[in-house]
Amino acid sequence: MSSDKQQPSRRERAAQRRAEIVAMAAELFARNGFRGTALADVAREAGITQPGLLHHFGTKEGLLIAVIEQRNADSEAYAMELLGLSPDVRLRELPNYARRNRERAGLAKLFTVLVAENLEPDAPAHEHFVDRYRAMRAIVTESLRRAQEDGEARTDFDPWVKATEIVATLDGLQTQWLLDPDEVDIVDSVESYAATLQREILIDHEVEEVG
């Protein structure tokens, strides 16, 4: 008797296998860093030969890019949701962003580790992170500028400078939390910062409890 359940195609199986390898590599990169992880380590943990691994990704740098792209896909969908909200609601949503990162601590650690490893211009993902931070600053800057033009935010601050501060503060809080989670509560810290931003930049608002 034939089964009504359609079996995954060869392409689907290959895509699933690739995703499994990327997830394993992400875990190892977060734990040991990109430089501290050998292709043989990833192959062994993923249950694949090293030639098989290279068949999927070409090089170790190709695997790194696949890991970064997967991490980006995970965060960009959430970022797009935030962009559709009004400035006051967006600020109140920041603690939920922190909760999301707390629930995905491995991805948060991965991002922090990879940024630190790619500070030098000749690092394999240096340009990626330069472009990513530029894009983040541009998005926040434009959001603040629109809020000023719409009369929702004060006009006595430079949107680009404030955007740079916001990105830096959130990154810094995340790094301190990853280093010392027993001492630093990422959600409480972001809630406090979000309330400060509401008081500093929004016009005619009542500061509500965030979170």
Q: What residue ranges of the chain are covered by domains with CATH 1.10.10.60?
A: 8-68
Amino acid (one-letter) located at 2 = S
Tell me the pLDDT of the chain (211 aa) as tens digits. Answer: 445 557 777 777 878 888 889 888 888 988 888 888 999 999 999 898 999 888 889 898 889 888 888 777 766 666 666 666 677 778 888 888 899 889 888 888 888 998 999 999 999 999 989 998 998 899 889 889 999 999 999 999 999 999 999 999 999 999 999 999 999 999 999 999 999 999 999 986 444 445 5
CATH fold of 8-68: Arc Repressor Mutant, subunit A (1.10.10)
Q: What residue ranges of the chain are covered by domains with CATH 1.10.357.10?
A: 84-211
Cα(201)–Cα(36) distance, integer angstroms: 43
Rounded to two decimals, what is the model's pTM?
0.77
Query: Which CATH number does the domain 84-211 belong to among 1.10.10.10, 3.30.450.20, 3.30.365.10, 1.10.357.10?
Result: 1.10.357.10
Cα(37)–Cα(60) distance, integer angstroms: 10
Strand, helix or coil for residue 8: coil
